[in-house]
Amino acid sequence: MKFAKLDQRLIGNMTQAPSDPETVRIFDQIARSRRSIRGFLPTPVAPEILRQVFETAAFAPSNCNTQPWYSYVVSGEMRDRLSRIFLETIGNGNYSLDFPYDAKYEGVYRQRQLDVGLLLYKALGVTREDREGKRQAFLRNLEFFDAPHVVFIFMPDWCGIREACDVGMYAQNLMLTMRAHGISSCPQTILGYDADSVRRELNIEPEMKLLFGISFGYENPDLPENRIVPDRATLEAQVKFYS
Ligand SMILES: Cc1cc2nc3c(=O)[nH]c(=O)nc-3n(C[C@H](O)[C@H](O)[C@H](O)COP(=O)(O)O)c2cc1C
């Protein structure tokens, strides 16, 4: 395996000196403005920005620096083709998942799941009884919410839960770097529901396993579904400080 030679320009200032308030402000803005966006403009991201984003994302940490993430970025005709395939397969309940999605959410987790669903349906004007409205909202996933790009995130088949954590850190780096460039995204487990088609169409080795996809591009600011801000649990509920 070849390693990219890292030069100083790529790494930036490697010292970890305390930051200044302006850096904190900007980073807070980037992290807090990352939300799952479910409606995009057709404007593509410039190729040089795409490269920059994926280069920066790779500075994520990983167990033993194994970097077990693999990104397959799809645009243009292949994007349209995959969307059509997904509507046929996933849209009709024909799945091929590399990793099961069988968690049963209970208690507070179930409540959070319900809350975010309600928030989204309310923004879309979909009522509780409106089964067709819900189906249309679901199918928007398979149209990548009109995003011009989608990245499929894979890891090799030998990977386990620890390596999946590495990949998650990489994916978050990716979405935050996108935000710094004004690009929005939506991570989507559902895009991993037809892994066989993704492998076949993109000519990916069978040893590569699909975790999820991320639709991305520039947000359509006119859509009410892009204005929802799902709640966060309180700091006290999530973090305990010891000394
Ligand atoms: C791994 C992962 C998979 C997700 N899958 C989907 C999905 O298939 N469809 C969707 O609309 N949102 C999906 N989401 C987005 C979540 O619903 C969203 O992150 C959560 O409600 C919090 O909202 P926020 O991202 O706007 O902060 C996914 C998020 C993650 C991290």
CA distances to 71, 151, 200, 205, 231 from 196, rounded to whole Å, are 16, 16, 6, 10, 35
Over residues 155-174, the pLDDT tens digits come to 999 999 999 999 999 999 99
Tell which atom from ligand 1 comes closest to the C-alpha of 38: 11
Could you tell me if the CB of 184 is within 6 A of ligand 1? no
Tell which atom from ligand 1 comes closest to the C-alpha of 37: 26
Say how many residues make up the chain: 243
Over residues 107-133, the pLDDT tens digits come to 999 999 999 999 999 999 999 999 999
Over residues 25-81, the pLDDT tens digits come to 999 999 999 999 999 999 999 999 999 999 999 999 999 999 999 999 999 999 999
Could you tell me if the CB of 120 is within 6 A of ligand 1? no
pLDDT, residue 101, reads 96
Which is it for the CA torsion 86, 96, 202, 185, positive or negative? positive
| Mutation to probe ligand 1, out of 188, 194, 212 (largest number of atoms < 8 A from CB) | 188
pLDDT, residue 15, reads 73
More confident residue, 19 or 143: 143
Helices 76-88 & 131-142, crossing angle to 10 degrees? Answer: 140
Mean pLDDT along residues 134-144 = 98
pLDDT, residue 17, reads 79
What distance in angstroms lies between residue 186's CA and the mean position of ligand 1's atoms? 6
Contact 41, 220 (CB under 8 A): yes
Q: Looking at the predicted structure, is the pLDDT value of residue 1 above 50?
A: no
**What is the pLDDT of the chain when averaged over all its residues?**
95
Pair of tokens at residue 56: 């920066």
CATH superfamily of 35-102+142-224: NADH Oxidase (3.40.109.10)
User: How far is Cα 45 from Cα 126, in angstroms, rounded to an integer?
Assistant: 31
User: How far is Cα 94 from Cα 80, in angstroms, rounded to an integer?
Assistant: 19
Over residues 75-89, the pLDDT tens digits come to 999 999 999 999 999
